[in-house]
Amino acid sequence: MGQPQSVEGGPRLSSIPPPYDTPTPPKYSVKTGDTAPNFRLTSVKGGSGKVTLESLFSTKPVLLVCGSITCPMTSKSAPVVRKMKDKYGTAFHYILVYIVEVHPKGGLHPYSGEKIPADEPTSIEEQAMTFEQRVKAAERLESVYDGVFKDLFDYILVDDLGPDALMKYNPVWSTYGTCPNPCWVVGKDGIVKFNQFFTAHDGAPPDLDMEKGEATLDRELSAVLS
């Protein structure tokens, strides 16, 4: 990706505003070997005010996960993150960036454009139309699904959703990759050492499943520390 850049502005950013009625196929934009674009996001856990990615990876490597409260894979992959945290402890910063809802209550699937069924078990939040709504959903994360997210992430940061400029719409999701539950390992040099989905779907490696993904992530985290 060349020189380090910020997802807070710049003409190259692709920015996707609500209501997400145009399907956005899952894809990665930031990949292994790229310089991780810096971001500065509001924290609802782990810090007060705004937190930058650079301030975190400059102290130790980062496991960066994107997800939301209505994404079933976010909750299903939480035990994998828990295992990694139990094994590697404080060697990494464990970060979740709260992005668009995947199965919003009464809404549309952002990747397929299909209407979410009324009986979808994870459809417990509507798609945020304001930043304040997204913050409230992120603040609720640790209290749902029998506490699977409780004390899991060191930082829970909220992707922007601002009305003042298109650059403020979902900058991390738009820039890093329009995926429901991806992760990246960022080294202390700011370079992405590894990236993966936690589940197989269109755009993901065809042989990827949760078990293989866990083993691969474990191996890559170990390599960062070696």
Task: From first to last of the 226 residues of the chain, give the pLDDT tens digit.
Answer: 344 455 554 334 457 777 777 778 777 789 899 999 999 999 999 988 999 999 999 999 999 999 999 998 899 889 989 999 999 999 999 999 999 999 999 999 888 888 999 899 999 999 998 899 999 999 999 999 999 999 999 999 999 987 665 557 888 998 998 888 889 999 999 999 998 876 544 445 544 556 667 888 899 999 999 9
**Cα-based distances in Å from 179 to 23, 60, 110, 165, 188:** 12, 25, 10, 22, 24
pLDDT recorded at residue 133: 94
Q: Which pLDDT belongs to residue 2?
A: 40
DSSP helix, strand, coil percent of the chain (3-state; round to 5): 30, 20, 50
Is 31 within the bounds of a domain? Answer: no
Per-residue pLDDT at 166: 57
What's the pLDDT at 200? 47
The residue written with tokens 């749902």 in the block is 144
Q: Is residue 137 part of a domain?
A: yes
Name the residue range of residue 172's domain: 40-225
- 150 in a domain, yes or no? yes
Name the amino acid, one letter, at 153.
Answer: F
Cα angle vertex 136, ends 57, 45, to 5°?
30
User: Is the residue at 98 inside a domain?
Assistant: yes
- Residue 7 falls within a domain, yes or no? no
Report how far residue 82's alpha carbon sits from residue 87's, in angstroms, rounded to the nearest whole number.
Answer: 9
Angle at 73 between CA 199 and CA 115, to 5 degrees: 105
Q: Is the peptide bond before 19 cis (omega within 30 degrees of 0)?
A: yes
Output the domain CATH number for residue 161. 3.40.30.10
The pTM assigned to this predicted structure is 0.89
Question: Helix 72-88 vs helix 210-225: angle between axes, to the nearest 10 degrees?
Answer: 40
Structure tokens that stand for 156 in this block: 């829970």
Distance of CA 200 to the CA centre of its chain: 16
Within-domain flag for 103: yes
pLDDT for residue 202: 46
Any domain includes 93: yes
> What is the reported pLDDT for 111?
85
- Total number of domains in the chain: 1
CA 197 to chain centre: 10
For every residue of 131-174, DSSP letters joined together read HHHHHHHHHHGGGSGGGTTTTT-SEEEE--B-SS-GGGBSHHHH
Q: Is residue 155 part of a domain?
A: yes
